[in-house]
């Protein structure tokens, strides 16, 4: 549970930065940002694996770049269900996916994972 909360906080940071940097991504209030981070974590656990499997041939053909579209679709999916979180189009979603992914990567590399250290 602690890992999910930490991941939600990192995702919230990434979404906040994306709203600041990427035109077309916006939040109306802090509660929407937190809710979007939690819902995105749930969507990444449930919906994203299904999309990855269904789009596997396109992902292979594009050498993995289509995963940006899958991530953008997941962010757009969350935005469609959540009031106060707006993603205006595919390019804004791709930009948000890139920023959120980079923030997760940087923070993840800075935090030492016990499973990697022990194994």
Q: Kindly report the number of other CB atoms within 10 A of residue 86's CB atom.
A: 16
| Mean pLDDT (whole number) for 91-107 | 93
Q: In the predicted model, is pLDDT for residue 6 greater than 90? A: no
DSSP H helices, 22-113, are 30-54, 56-61, 66-81, 90-110
| Mean pLDDT (whole number) for 10-27 | 94
13, two tokens: 């940071």
| Mean pLDDT (whole number) for 23-29 | 92
Q: In the predicted model, is pLDDT for residue 119 greater than 60? A: no
């Amino acid at each position: 549970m602690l890992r999910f909360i930490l991941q939600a906080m990192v995702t919230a940071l990434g979404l906040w930065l994306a709203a600041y940097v990427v035109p077309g991504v916006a939040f109306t209030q802090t509660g929407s940002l937190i809710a979007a981070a939690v819902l995105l974590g749930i969507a990444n656990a449930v919906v994203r694996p299904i999309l990855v499997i269904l789009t596997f041939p396109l992902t292979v053909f594009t050498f993995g770049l289509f995963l940006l579209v899958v991530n953008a679709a997941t962010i757009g999916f969350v935005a469609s269900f959540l009031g106060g979180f707006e993603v205006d189009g595919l390019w804004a979603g791709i930009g948000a996916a890139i920023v959120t992914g980079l923030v997760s990567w940087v923070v993840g590399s800075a935090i030492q994972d016990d499973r990697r250290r022990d194994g």
